[in-house]
Amino acid sequence: MSESLQGLHYHAAEDNTAARSPESFGRSPGGADDAPAMTFTSNEGAARYYLDQLLQRDDRAGMRSLTEPERPERVPSLVVESERDLPALGTHSLRFSQTYRDIPIFGAMALVELTAARDLVSVNGKLGEAPGANPVESLSRAEALEKVADYTGADIPAESGVGARLNFYKKDDDGSWHLAWFFQELPAEPPANDNDADTVDEALLGHGFGRRPVPPSFNYLVDAHDGEILFCYSAAPTALAIPARCTGIDENDDQQAFFGELVAPTSTTCRLNDPRRRVRTYDLQFADINNDPPDPDFPVEAPDSDYGVTNRAAVSAHANASRVLDFYNVVLQRQGIDDNGMDLVSLVNVTAASMQAPPSLLNAFWFRRRMWYGQITKNGRLVSLSRFLDVIGHELTHGVIETTSGLVYATQSGALNESFADIAGVIIKNWYEAPDRADVATWDWEIGPGLRADGRPLRDFADPSRTGHPKHMDDFRPLAPGELPGRSNDQGWVHFNSNIHNKAVHNLLTMSTNGARVFSVEDVAVLTYLGMARLTPRATFPAALQSVVDVGQTYFGGDVHRTEKIAAIRKAYQLVGIT
């Protein structure tokens, strides 16, 4: 199989240093030996210089061809996508996307990590050589959209394709370059393979909830010359307030304390709107999501600050969403789901008659940048899925991934998308609910306990085989040659294969030497969160290992046991066949 894009990787620790200055790369071509020390006026300028230097030294001709020695500021036709501080590491990162002739290259990105002094710490990227495809389209955007409609059998409104852009796309199987129309969030699901009817149910078992009651939303890459459907994947894995301290009984019969708001200074009426965290919770009152119901006029109300048992679903959703947000804010130093303080909106009591007879709906999901909760019957009453903190941590982390690495929701990158969501869900649940959060021996490793019809959990982090999932690369399930991701194969078995990476991280959490844990819970939370954030959209399992190692090189930079800890990370992954 041809590598779709070529990896670019560097970490200063590999040169036995904490960071590299520009002078350590030597003078630029034609520079005098006694020239003054190089300084940068911006982080972007520094990052581009280091990329140029690394590419010039690369052994691969295709990578060297990306450089422009006379104009390193253009190397290699990169556009800054985002910048963010990494407080846990004391560094700063820039994420670039790659273009060619001003056309984006699908999945091609580079992340550069700098010190405060703008010295180089690390680089991680996937880049492509000059695409060998005609850059002038033969098919119009509208004609390409018709190809998707023909392929899916869906009636796609013309306006759905207005935002499509041309991309260069390199196929995994044969390494061929294509100019493609990139359509996002089309209301058209790929057709299921009639020969795979028996696998549809198996694919859904990977998720455990069944199909999500949301309109189809898929991304497509369509050859801009011959109309071939090159690739497709799911786009949906989703006035001044006066704070008031509130209480209420949740779906687990526990009393919770949380913040809402007073409707007015002279009123005792409270609403589930936490103005400090920007968390709001609404009750859809069993409206059908397929009918695109409007948001209620205001968050869930109570006559005073004690919600009692009047809306357990909303109390659970509000309290648990706040916990997830607090974990990201305090432990991982991320400002909300999008790292920019976005409002966190939850809607409880959701139904979808097309999927399940109301009022039940066995699903909870992130969609359209908010959380939606269905409910099931338990002990004679409806119980909201908002009771599961691990499920909420998982789903909200899809939002975090969506606004950081943007892991493509198909095949290995999709499995990593699911795995990093599982990792966050398990850690956050036990952070708040384990008898001793610091002692993983006291942890509950089940994800969605009791949610399968036979009483088993959706997944078991400690023993994936318990739920019929793999725990080693020997059992990795690939797509068949030429098979595209779709519902009948769970987007390339993302929920199935994700368990291999889950087990690697379980190894990290439980690994010990001489009776002592090698890593603290906070260590693993930081390693996996920042490891995910530095991945490129089409990342593979080995890329995830390297990314976590790179974070560890910096995170444990002042630790006398850094070498042993990096070796332990590699061992945790090696035990599941990821090297």
Cβ neighbours of residue 16 closer than 8 Å, sequence gap 6 or more: none
Angle at 525 (CA atoms; ends 204, 256), nearest 5 degrees: 75
Distance (Å) of CA 198 to CA 126, 191, 459: 36, 15, 21
| Terminal Cα distance for the chain, rounded | 18
Query: What's the rounded Cα separation, in Å, for the pair 282 and 513?
Result: 48
Helix (H, G, I), strand (E, B) or coil at 364: strand
Catalytic residue check, 418? no
* Nearest Cα residue to 122 out of 10, 22, 7: 10
Cβ atoms 125, 109 nearer than 8 A: yes
Query: What's the rounded Cα separation, in Å, for the pair 294 and 209?
Result: 25
Query: What's the rounded Cα separation, in Å, for the pair 563 and 553?
Result: 9
Q: What are phi and psi of 27, to 5 degrees?
A: -70, 150
Cβ neighbours of residue 78 closer than 8 Å, sequence gap 6 or more: 48, 51, 96, 97, 98, 99, 110
Handedness of CA 104, 110, 113, 117 (dihedral sign): negative
Residue in 207, 495, 501, 506 annotated catalytic: 495
Angle at 26 (CA atoms; ends 25, 30), nearest 5 degrees: 135
Tokens standing for 63?
A: 């990578």
Cβ atoms 500, 418 nearer than 8 A: no
How many Cα atoms are found within 13 Å in the side-chain-facing hemisphere of 374?
Answer: 26
Lateral strand order in the sheet of 270-271: 242-249, 255-262, 270-271, 301-302
Residue in 301, 395, 418, 446 annotated catalytic: 395
Catalytic residue check, 495? yes
How many Cα atoms are found within 13 Å in the side-chain-facing hemisphere of 218?
Answer: 26
* Nearest Cα residue to 557 out of 509, 7, 549, 28: 549
Q: DSSP character for 352?
A: -
Query: What's the rounded Cα separation, in Å, for the pair 531 and 404?
Result: 11
Active site residue ranges: 395, 495
